[in-house]
Amino acid sequence: MNITLRQLRVFERVARRLSFTRAAEELYLTQPAVSMQIKQFEDTIGLPLFERLGRKIYLTRAGEELYRVSRSISLQLQEAEQLVEELKGAEGGRLAVSVASTVHYFAISLLADFRKRYPRVKVNFKITNRKGLLQQLEDNETDIVLMGQPPADQDLNAEAFMDNPLVIIAPPDHPLATQGRISLGDIQNETFIMREQGSGTRNSVERFFAEKGLKIGISMEMNTNAAVKQGVEEGLGLGIVSIHTIIRELQDQRMVVLDVEDFPLIRQWYIVTRAGKRLSAVAREFQDFIRQDAHRFVQTDLIRSALKREFIPPSAPTPSP
């Protein structure tokens, strides 16, 4: 049989996702190109690898066996690539970094400075949600992940490197904007715009209120922090976000941090890697860089001012007569 590594790679991704569309997106190919590779692969071995039932595809018995083999080959090829990167040292090679959407507000500056030190390093940088990050770690598709605390029941190494304060935000003309020491009971009647189920922020917030025996009203779910912030600015509800994501809005006085008891919720950002993964020299250098220098890329003074409520909201507009 004249099977190519390209065919194996495409087949392995389709078999893993059970989706031609998702495989095409992840491989940066068109769906017809993926379909063609699978057809050529099936013609070469003389057996069907997938069967369609309705709108879903499933592996045939031959497909299941070949997926097991192709997965093993894929992992061996990744090990070979990592060995090559190791031989190149920290001056060259590739670095794959994936971050939570709330981390990218400072992670891009962090990577830019790292690249100044190691200009020959090729960086693959991805931003996604918590579910996507955990999937990338499971699939061994990234070297280092920066995110909130990962689940303890997965085979991962996690090291905290920075505080991540979660704060309650409101538009400047909100009735609670100028009040001090707002009780948790006072915000129970407010509506909130929250991130989607499963996000790190959502998990932390729901766990906190459950421990307090309280439940807040959620009027909308958004899948990005930008959408949450825009919703708050438009007066659709209060929001709970990482303070790292709202520095510009605070400077522009487009929103305020409410002085609510037990807030901010102090969580941490973590450096996360797959347990047992052999990191290249450049990946280890980047880990050390995060540990030593990450704090330089957050606006500490502005964050401290916001937490002390030193950003003064503008006065509410006077109604026209």
Q: Which domains does the chain have, with CATH numbers?
A: 5-86 (1.10.10.10), 87-161+269-300 (3.40.190.10), 163-266+302-307 (3.40.190.10)
Q: What angle do CA 316, 317, 321 make, to 5 degrees?
A: 135
- In the chain the first and final C-alpha atoms are separated, in Å, by 85
Greatest CA separation found in the chain? Answer: 85
pLDDT by residue for the chain (321 residues), tens only, comes to 678 888 888 999 999 899 999 899 888 899 999 999 999 999 998 999 999 888 889 999 999 999 988 888 877 777 777 666 666 655 667 899 999 988 888 899 899 999 998 888 889 999 998 989 999 998 888 999 999 989 888 889 999 999 899 999 999 999 998 888 899 988 988 999 998 888 888 889 999 999 999 888 888 899 888 999 999 999 999 999 998 888 888 888 898 999 999 999 989 999 999 998 888 888 999 999 999 998 887 766 666 666 665 554 444 443 343
The answer to whether 130 and 200 have CB atoms below 8 angstroms apart is yes
Pick the closest to residue 247 from 315, 290, 297, 200 (CA basis).
Answer: 297
C-alpha 212/C-alpha 205 separation (Å) is 11
Contacts (Cβ under 8 Å, ≥6 apart) of 174: 235, 238, 256, 258
